[in-house]
């Protein structure tokens, strides 16, 4: 009976991911920017994180870890994280700004589009590259009978990414309110904290990728030695 609960929680998290992305797709800053969309998205993501903790904990406690959880669980994590950052770098979170001397240092002001989330496509590429690379290593390792489970750096990376996603949701949702009441100092603090979380996430993502590369190289060399 209990052995199906962790897998059910993993499947539930996939459904929650779909709900989360629908909420982000309906949101549009300075358009369909109703605060309830991001507030409810925040709650949905928190619930998804809770199921992520519970399915692993229960699977280990009840000793019912299986192939489904080992394959689907990290897949759902990647879908949630990558999907979130792709949305954050997309058009729904772009805000036009007037920049003076933007082109060639000229005096004429120009309109540019910048993401209110602070996430740019290059960051998404870095995160995506790391996930694809680790997935390839894991698939190659397990195909030859070698275990390539999550390392501590990978778990730490997931924590940073999840916290950053929640911070961005709060920042975007309440920035306009701070604009209306004129709290410039709070805006500056919020922007600094948002940027710190984003760049810390990028740094730990790169670090985690390097750790997995070293681990894969070690496994490959041992395989050659045994052969």
Residue 131 has pLDDT above 80, yes or no: yes
pLDDT at 193: 95
- Report pLDDT digits (tens) over 206-223: 999 999 889 888 877 776
Residue 27 has pLDDT above 50, yes or no: yes
Please provide the DSSP assignment of 39-97 as one string: HHHHHHHHHHHHHHHHHHHHHHHTT---HHHHHHHHHHHHHHHHHHHHHHTSGGGEEEE
- Report pLDDT digits (tens) over 5-21: 888 899 999 999 999 99
The count of C-alpha atoms lying within 13 angstroms of the C-alpha of 220, restricted to the half-sphere facing its C-beta, is 9
User: By residue range, what is the domain housing residue 80?
Assistant: 2-226
Residue 123 has pLDDT above 60, yes or no: yes
Number of domains in the chain: 1
% of the chain surpassing 90 pLDDT: 44
- The residue-averaged pLDDT of 64-81 equals 83
- Report pLDDT digits (tens) over 167-186: 999 999 888 777 666 677 88
pLDDT at 226: 41
Q: Is 147 helix (H, G, I), strand (E, B) or coil?
A: coil
**Mean pLDDT score of the chain, rounded to an integer?**
84
Q: How many CB atoms lie within 10 A of CB 171?
A: 21
Give 113's strand partners: 96
> Do 172 and 31 contact (CB within 8 A), yes or no?
no
Residue 35 has pLDDT above 90, yes or no: no
pLDDT at 2: 61
For residues 83 and 24, give the distance between their C-alpha atoms in angstroms, rounded to a whole number: 10
pLDDT at 106: 55
CATH number where 134 lies: 1.20.120.1760
Regarding predicted confidence, which is higher, 87 or 67? Answer: 87
pLDDT at 210: 93
Please provide the DSSP assignment of 186-225 as one string: HHHHHHHHHHHHHHHHHHHHHHHHHHHHHHHHHHHHHHHH
Residue 102 has pLDDT above 60, yes or no: no
> Do 68 and 40 contact (CB within 8 A), yes or no?
no
Burial tier of 151 (Cβ tally within 10 Å: 0-12, 13-18, 19+): middle
The token pair at 132 is 């694809």
For residues 202 and 161, give the distance between their C-alpha atoms in angstroms, rounded to a whole number: 9
Residue 100 has pLDDT above 80, yes or no: no
42-74 CB burial, b ≥16 within 10 A, e <16:
bebbeebbebbebbbebbeeeeeeeeebbebbb
- The residue-averaged pLDDT of 182-198 equals 88
């Amino acid at each position: 009976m209990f052995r199906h609960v962790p897998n059910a929680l993993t499947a539930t998290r996939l459904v929650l991911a779909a709900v989360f992305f629908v909420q982000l797709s309906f949101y549009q800053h300075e358009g369909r920017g109703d605060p309830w969309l991001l507030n409810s998205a925040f709650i949905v993501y928190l619930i998804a994180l809770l199921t992520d903790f519970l399915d692993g904990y229960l699977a280990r406690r009840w000793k019912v870890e299986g192939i489904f959880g080992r394959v689907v669980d990290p897949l759902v994590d990647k879908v949630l994280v990558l999907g979130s950052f792709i949305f954050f770098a997309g058009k729904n979170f772009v805000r036009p700004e007037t920049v003076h001397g933007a082109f060639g240092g000229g005096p004429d002001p120009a309109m540019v589009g910048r993401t209110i989330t602070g996430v740019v496509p290059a960051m998404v590429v870095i995160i995506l590259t790391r996930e694809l690379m680790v997935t390839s290593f894991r698939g190659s390792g397990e195909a030859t009978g070698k275990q390539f489970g999550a390392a501590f750096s990978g778990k730490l990376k997931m924590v940073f990414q999840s916290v950053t996603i929640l911070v961005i949701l709060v920042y975007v949702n309440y920035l306009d309110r701070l604009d209306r009441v004129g709290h410039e100092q709070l805006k500056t603090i919020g922007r600094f904290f948002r940027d710190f979380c984003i760049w810390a996430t990028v740094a730990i993502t790169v670090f985690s990728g390097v750790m997995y590369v070293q681990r894969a190289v070690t496994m490959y060399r041992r395989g050659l030695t045994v052969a």
